[in-house]
Amino acid sequence: MMLPGFASDSIIITEPVWTGERGKQVKTYPAQGSVVSPVIVQDGSTSPTFELRDAVEIRKVVFLNPGVSVSRHARITIDGRYYRIYGAPHVWKGPAGIASHIHLDLVDWEG
């Protein structure tokens, strides 16, 4: 299955490069990622953070065509802003058991 015809957004998926540093695996992101289109991008909820600072959590929801390669460590860029995948990518299946789309919950913070 594919996303519906009104899917007209695009995102950039940047997978990390893992390197060993002082016995630990550290991820860095290359300057270039892969442009993925068409996708559906929707605003998620925002919520203030009350941890002794003025901050807000910003969320987005993205729907990708099945078969797009994306790990839970990927950085997602939408309109120049970087988002982290909250949790892991979810493959949704239709009634026939065939992959319908990939669902990403994204999060970023301000403040």
- Burial of 73 from C-beta contacts in 10 A (0-12 / 13-18 / 19+): middle
User: Given this model, what pLDDT does residue 48 score?
Assistant: 62
pTM assigned to the model:
0.85
Q: What is the pLDDT along the chain (111 residues), one digit of tens a residue?
A: 667 777 889 999 999 999 887 888 899 999 999 999 999 999 987 766 666 667 788 999 999 999 999 999 999 999 999 999 999 999 999 888 888 899 999 999 887
Identity of the residue numbered 70: V
User: Given this model, what pLDDT does residue 55 score?
Assistant: 79
d(CA 49, CA 64): 29
Q: Which fold has domain 9-110?
A: Thrombin, subunit H (2.40.10)
Kindly state the tokens that stand for 93: 């299946």
Cα 59 to the center of its chain, rounded Å: 10
Alpha helices in 6-101 (DSSP H): none
